[in-house]
Chains A and B, each alone.
Chain A
Amino acid sequence: MVGMKITFKHLFVPEVTIQYPEIKVPMAERVRNRLYVNMDDCIGCDQCARACPVNCIEIETVKSLPTEDLGKTSNGKKKALWVTKFNIDIAKCCYCQLCVFPCPTECIYMTDVYEFAEFEREDLLYKFATLTPAQAEEKKNNFDVFQAEKEAAKVAAAEKAAAEKAAAAKAAAEKAAEEKKDDSKTDEE
């Protein structure tokens, strides 16, 4: 009967539950919900992709040409890579926050948005890359072009070097031949 007294007392205790859609639970500020990447700070260093236990971050970068200037990140680090693809598959993410700590420029962090359910699973694949596919293509092409030029330049340089060596060798050979001729001339005189 003691138990009955308790439950009866609880009849008058005000309720603890809240009505979810109208009243929302205030989130703690360190809460770990949806990932967000601030793209203009991202230098494409792939630290977060390496730290992720479920590898749900895929990054592809293209080296920028020395001529292009990509500007600086907020804390003054020079950016050298075009980030053509930065996908986070939030459906696979286990919200462990291991990717937030190694990021040098702190551009990846967890926001407190928790209502991001989707109907299609593909929508959960967040694409953070700022370059449109066309731009990405273009960046890749001119990088390949640049690469090709460098190759060509190197090959050319190599040939020149080889040519010089050959020339030098020929010159040396001729000199030797002349000396032999001089010797023979001296012999003849």
Chain B
Amino acid sequence: MYDIILNITGSEILSMIISAALPLFLFILPFALVAVLAERKVSAFMQDRLGPTRVGPKGTLQTVADILKLFQKEDIIPSEADKKLFNLAPILVFAGSFAVFAAIPFSGAYIGTMADVGVFYIIAISSLVVAGILMAGWASNNKYSLLGAVRSVSQIISYEIPTALVILSLVMLAGTLNMYDLTNMQTEYFWNWFIFGGPATGIQKILLIPFMVVGFVIIYISTLAEVNRTPFDIPEAESELVAGYHTEYSGMKFAIFFLAEYANMFAVSAIVATLFFGGFQSPFGYIGNLLGAEWMIPIEQFLWFTVKGLFFVFVQMWLRWTLPRLRVDQLMALCWKYLIPYAFVNLIIIGIISLI
């Protein structure tokens, strides 16, 4: 993709920007629209009700209606609010959660940037969101949002450590940081995926499986916390802090926060799918090379990538409507007393196994 744009535009930087920004407009925005509706539909069916059915056939245009409503809503800025920070916060949160997509390989033929430091870049960018949330909490000059912001900052920062550790153990095994190579390593059949021990062979593979599963569980929980979802949605806990850091926002800024949250949700599930479930690799060979049509494979890979991503998004929604919410100190205790020690032990054992 990058080289195709290169010969169209001819200039280095321009093509780099376009190829990195392409997934944002082509895929993520429509995904966010669908995800908002999907969340309301899934939660409705789980609670024996129908969800939105008024707007459009069986409620499909509901999100479009929401976006239009938010467009024409008045953008209120609280009087004593700190204007600059107040306006800057949503932009930062939006940028942070969308920049992650630059490094995720969508399909064999397409990856935003062939960055060699792929995974490392993703972890770094996702902590940009923290600054945005803190700004939002502080700027709206309201006790509840301040509490919400401080909570969410402590939550996201402390949950980055287990994520980083598990990614470290994986990268140590795979030997490369580049997401594209990582996915190519898990080629062909699903037992080559990292969750089943990755491309290693023989005794090493069998030994690795339990620790890879533990690693997957840890990273899934901690990425959940990083996105403020399900049992960890304390920053915007409706019943305590009204709506956490985005209480005072309305109109377009609130829409941005909303989209950022859903984009983050997909980003996180895409990362987990890519790292452990073989990104765009299909579990049992491609129809493309069965029929000999070479050009079908990238499309098929894209389909597999979306299916896996959506499955994890569905699991997040499913968790949200089943489990109650954790308290802040329990959240911290879970992270520091359980996830991080397990992640360390996991790291060491995988290291030993990879030496055999």
Contact = CB atoms under 8 A, between A and B. Distances in A.
Interface of A: 3-4, 6-8, 10-11, 13-17, 19
Interface stretch (B43-51, B112-120, B202-210, B277-285): B43-51
Contacts of A14: 48
B318 A8 contact: yes
Interface string B314-341: 0000110111000000000000000000
B289 interface: no
Given A3-B322, A7-B318, A19-B53, 9 more contacts: A6-B322, A7-B321, A7-B322, A8-B46, A11-B45, A14-B48, A15-B48, A15-B49, A17-B49
B322 A4 contact: yes
Interface of B: 42, 44-50, 53, 318-319, 321-323
Contacts of B49: 15-17
A7 B324 CA distance: 13
SS of B interface (majority): loop
Contact of B319 (A4, A10, A13): A4
A19 B54 CA distance: 9
B318 A16 contact: no
A15 B318 contact: no
Nearest to B50: A15
Of A8, A14, A15, A16, the most chain B CB neighbours within 10 A belong to A15
A19 B51 CA distance: 11
B318 A10 contact: no
Contacts of A8: 46, 318
Contacts of B50: 15, 17, 19
Given A8-B318, A19-B53, A3 B323 contact: yes
Contacts of A15: 44-45, 48-50
B213 to A, nearest CB: 15
Contacts of B323: 3
A10 B46 contact: yes
Nearest to A19: B53
A16 B322 contact: no
B46 A7 contact: yes
A14 B49 CA distance: 8
Contacts of B48: 10, 13-17
A13 B45 CA distance: 8
Contacts of B46: 7-8, 10-11
Contacts of B319: 4
Nearest to A8: B318
A13 B50 CA distance: 11
A6 B323 CA distance: 11
Nearest to A9: B46
Contact of B47 (A3, A4, A10, A19): A10
Given A10-B47, A11-B46, A15-B48, A4 B318 contact: yes
Nearest to A12: B45
Which among A3, A7, A8, A19 has the highest number of chain B CB atoms within 10 Å?
A: A7
Contacts of A13: 48
Contacts of A11: 42, 45-46
Nearest to A17: B49
